[in-house]
Amino acid sequence: MKQKITLKEISRRFNVSISTVSKALKDSPEISEKTKEIIQAFAKEHNYKPNNIALSLKNQKTKNIGIILPEIVHYFFSSVITGVERLATEKGYNVIVCISNESFDKEVINMQMLANGSIDGFIMSLSKDTEKKQDFHHINEVINQGMPVVMIDRVTDKVNCDKVIIDDFHGAYSAVSYLVESGRKNIALITMPDYMSVGKLRTEGYKKALIDAGIQVDEDLIVKVEDFYSGFEPVEELLKNHNVDAVFGVTEFFAVSAMKIAQKMGKTAPKDISFVGFTDGIISISSSPSLTTVSQHGEEIGEKAADLLIKRLEEEDFELRPYETEIIKSSLVKRESTQ
Amino acid sequence: MKQKITLKEISRRFNVSISTVSKALKDSPEISEKTKEIIQAFAKEHNYKPNNIALSLKNQKTKNIGIILPEIVHYFFSSVITGVERLATEKGYNVIVCISNESFDKEVINMQMLANGSIDGFIMSLSKDTEKKQDFHHINEVINQGMPVVMIDRVTDKVNCDKVIIDDFHGAYSAVSYLVESGRKNIALITMPDYMSVGKLRTEGYKKALIDAGIQVDEDLIVKVEDFYSGFEPVEELLKNHNVDAVFGVTEFFAVSAMKIAQKMGKTAPKDISFVGFTDGIISISSSPSLTTVSQHGEEIGEKAADLLIKRLEEEDFELRPYETEIIKSSLVKRESTQ
DNA sequence: CTGAAAGCGCTTACAG
DNA sequence: CTGAAAGCGCTTACAG
């Protein structure tokens, strides 16, 4: 069984037309039973499968969906892909993954590449760069060309499209409220710069929870860290100079890193300091003590995004429906780092 | 700027033929400067980009590469994807990601879907199921059809193709030797069932290191764990009933989980027990104490695999070259869990 | 019941 | 310098 076989080759083999072969293989009633039988048998034997590219060109749809993510080596984003992939495969779609690497330029290039016919629609989360720049022309362009886009997690209201997000504000609110209820008073926050939409919302949730509990927000207890790779000295300073009894980190990595620093300073979690993170990944499970976190349900976000996208692609009436913003509920997973 | 514009539409706009437009946009010397100018200007204004699907059909190549992985929410595999994606994008290829979810059936279905024209070649790592079944017909079929395949990490010698692996044996060997050198005598192993190629090789490296150091292999110190989600009771038993002073885990998760169990039993790492893992991921960095690991260099593996694949796709002579097995060197990253 | 034709969007050897 | 034709692999309305 060498090389893929085509309709043309089958048609030559039996001295019939390509149309006849095509119809025979689709078991069309137009074709005689006898012809269908021999053609189908031959096709099966030679493992004939229609060429996807030809079908795409003919049908004007590729059955591919593109997903553009800031990075992938990260529990949240890889679980989003897992969710997208599952739903997509179930519906007969392939998933093309591009990584913007937090760069605006790469995000634009990736979108343009895929938009030239390779896919039917996009799922994407903004790069940091893009959030900083606030330039979304590439996304709006694609949408104007009639290609549906679903934004997830890091979204913007400058683009009108379907969105799937979690309730960052409430997730943070409930995490901090939980700390307050367990008797903590000096709750520090380790967050991201404000241009990151999710960092901002989680910070607001933190503040609101304190205010509602009658605790004054102390800006000295708030540290902003750029990303995973920048240093954590400010956190060290914070723990050294302030009498902190709880830390809320807006990522699990932030929380665990803070916990490690505290442990090195001789503090015990949760006895001396409680810790809560965001994103319920493998870090939270394997840290010691294991970390209480706000679970983002990445797979669910991915599935929901794929579902919205495919509906818009396939359901006649859906295409014209107003855009939705689906909010996936986060949940607090309590572990050993709090009491 | 609505909808994507085609050559046909441009040709109608200026009352010329499609061929002329096509050539003009390629800046062909066949076409007059004036014609080229106006056509190019118009195309630019309307953001014309050739349709990838049409190009694929014409050129008989898609510029897509397919990658099939057992899972993705896992540091090693997601870093492989990152490496593949980087090299692929650089060379003008897109990456289609499929997840077999450790299932043989899904692996087969994914391969067949993609093999029908969607991609030019495969990069893949075997699912557990496939390793257990030892059924590789789907891979050989694809190769027989002339589609190149590069296997990574979880490979088999039953398939003749390019491979990129790490030196699992030596990685384990050096990790265990390091433990021996630091004075440890009762070194436990937490590994996977033998049908997993990588688990087997790492186990062999562990044994050889002990033997070479004149330490007898004690099968009672070897625990086999199915996967992340199965329980770790056997590990608990091991640590309770044997006087273990070091643990080598064939994944970082195994090692960190064992460390947590030991800590709960009141042991301190590395004072009482040293721990070494495999896969240098984020778990190792964020555990407390941080974990000494054998780094697998996932991105490098991904890049190398993509490089081999694209070479076979593009370089005339390369296509006929004998298959290579590239071995990426692992390296021991020393952290706090050993001394 | 079978086949020729047109078309999806593009490229390119060939003719004029 | 421009265009008609053939072709990549397939589908389908239409003719016979």
Q: Quick one: pLDDT at residue B2?
A: 59
Q: Quick one: pLDDT at residue A228?
A: 61
**Of A73, A112, A117, which is closest to B53 when you measure between CB atoms?**
A117
Q: Quick one: pLDDT at residue A231?
A: 77
Check: CATH 3.40.50.2300 for B168-296? yes
- Which range among A234-238, B6-10, B212-216, B229-233 shows the weakest confidence by mean pLDDT? B229-233
A24: left (phi over 0), alpha (psi -120 to 50) or beta: alpha
What residue of B is the nearest CA neighbor of A142? B3
Copy the structure tokens of residue B231.
Answer: 């329980």
Distance CA B87, CA B311 (A): 12
Distance CA B66, CA B89 (A): 13
> Cα angle at B59 between B32 and B124, to 5 degrees?
145
Give chain B positions within 8 Å (CB) of A106: 89
What residue of A is the nearest CA neighbor of B110? A89
As annotated, the residues of chain A forming the CATH 3.40.50.2300 domain(s) are 62-166+298-328, 168-296
Give chain A positions within 8 Å (CB) of B98: 85, 89, 94-95
Copy the structure tokens of residue A153.
Answer: 């997690």
Which neighbouring-strand residues pair with B165?
B327
Query: From the CA of A315, how many Å to the C1' of D15?
Result: 35
Give B159 to chain A, closest Cα distance, Å. 17
Give chain B positions within 8 Å (CB) of A113: 94
What residue of B is the nearest CA neighbor of A110? B89
Q: Are strands A331-333 and A292-295 parallel, antiparallel or unpaired?
A: antiparallel
Confidence check: pLDDT of B229 > 70:
no
Report the topology of domain A62-166+298-328. Answer: Rossmann fold (3.40.50)
**Of A3, A50, A145, which is closest to B3 when you measure between CB atoms?**
A145
**Of A85, A146, A282, which is closest to B99 when you measure between CB atoms?**
A85
Q: Quick one: pLDDT at residue B228?
A: 61
Q: Are strands B292-295 and B274-278 parallel, antiparallel or unpaired?
A: parallel
Q: Quick one: pLDDT at residue B1?
A: 47
Comparing C-alpha atoms, which of B1, B13, B12, B42 is closest to residue B25?
B42
Chain A / chain B CB contacts < 8 angstroms: 157
**In this complex, do B97 and A81 lie within 8 Å of one another by their Cβ atoms?**
yes
Q: What percent of chain B has pLDDT over 90?
A: 85
**In this complex, do B117 and A4 lie within 8 Å of one another by their Cβ atoms?**
yes
Strands of chain A, DSSP E: 64-69, 94-99, 121-124, 149-152, 162-166, 187-191, 222-224, 246-249, 274-278, 292-295, 325-328, 331-333
What residue of A is the nearest CA neighbor of B289? A260
Comparing C-alpha atoms, which of B286, B300, B116 is closest to residue A275?
B286
Contact B335, B269 (CB under 8 A): no
Q: Quick one: pLDDT at residue A30?
A: 87
Torsion of CA B258, B263, B268, B273, to 10 degrees: -20
Residue B320 — pLDDT band, cuts 50, 70, 90? confident
Give chain B positions within 8 Å (CB) of A141: 1, 47
Q: Quick one: pLDDT at residue B315?
A: 83
CA of B5: nearest nucleotide by C1' is: C9
Residue B226 — pLDDT band, cuts 50, 70, 90? confident
Give chain B positions within 8 Å (CB) of A120: none
Q: Mean pLDDT in chain A? A: 93
A137 φ/ψ angles, rounded to the nearest 5 degrees: -60, -35
Mean pLDDT of B246-272: 94
Query: From the CA of A112, how many Å to the C1' of C10?
Result: 18
As annotated, the residues of chain B forming the CATH 3.40.50.2300 domain(s) are 62-165+298-328, 168-296
Query: From the CA of A55, how many Å to the C1' of C7?
Result: 13
**Of B4, B62, B98, which is closest to A85 when you measure between CB atoms?**
B98
- Classify B250 as helix, strand or coil: coil
Residue A12's CB: how many other CB atoms inside 10 A? Answer: 12
| pLDDT tens string A19-69 | 999 999 999 888 989 999 999 999 999 999 999 999 999 999 999 999 999
Contact A58, A89 (CB under 8 A): no
Distance CA A201, CA B41 (A): 45
Distance CA B246, CA B169 (A): 19
Give B51 to chain A, closest Cα distance, Å. 5
Q: Quick one: pLDDT at residue A280?
A: 87
CATH number of B62-165+298-328: 3.40.50.2300
**In this complex, do B116 and A52 lie within 8 Å of one another by their Cβ atoms?**
yes
The residue of B106, B116, B280, B290 whose CB has the most chain A CBs within 10 angstroms, and thus the best one to mutate to test that interface, is B116
| CB-facing half-sphere around the CA of B207: CA atoms within 13 A | 12
What residue of A is the nearest CA neighbor of B262? A288
Distance CA B136, CA B143 (A): 11
Query: From the CA of B26, how many Å to the C1' of C15?
Result: 21
Query: Strand D nucleotides below 7 A of a protein CB?
Result: 1-5, 7-14
Query: From the CA of A88, how many Å to the C1' of D13?
Result: 32
The kind and range of the H/E element at A14 are helix A7-14
Copy the structure tokens of residue A102.
Answer: 């937090």
Torsion sign (Cα): A171, A176, A181, A182: positive
**In this complex, do A72 and B81 lie within 8 Å of one another by their Cβ atoms?**
yes
**In this complex, do B51 and A144 lie within 8 Å of one another by their Cβ atoms?**
no
DSSP assigned state of A288: S
**In this complex, do A260 and B114 lie within 8 Å of one another by their Cβ atoms?**
no
Distance CA B28, CA A261 (A): 64
Give chain A positions within 8 Å (CB) of B287: 286-288
Contact A129, A162 (CB under 8 A): no
Q: Quick one: pLDDT at residue A1?
A: 47
Residue nearest to nucleotide D13 (CA to C1'): A19
| pLDDT tens string A84-127 | 999 999 999 999 999 999 999 999 999 998 999 999 999 999 99
**In this complex, do B117 and A64 lie within 8 Å of one another by their Cβ atoms?**
no
| pLDDT tens string B61-114 | 999 999 999 999 989 999 999 999 999 999 999 999 999 999 999 999 999 989
Q: Mean pLDDT in chain B? A: 93
Q: Which residues of B157-184 are buried (b: 16+ CB within 10 A; e: fewer)?
A: eebebbbbbbbbbbbbbbbbbbbbeeeb
Mean pLDDT of B257-283: 93
pLDDT, averaged per 10 consecutive residues of chain A (339 residues), comes to: 81 92 92 91 93 94 95 94 96 93 94 92 97 96 92 96 96 97 96 91 96 96 81 89 95 93 92 94 91 96 97 83 94 95
Query: From the CA of A57, how many Å to the C1' of C9?
Result: 8
**Of B98, B115, B253, which is closest to A286 when you measure between CB atoms?**
B253
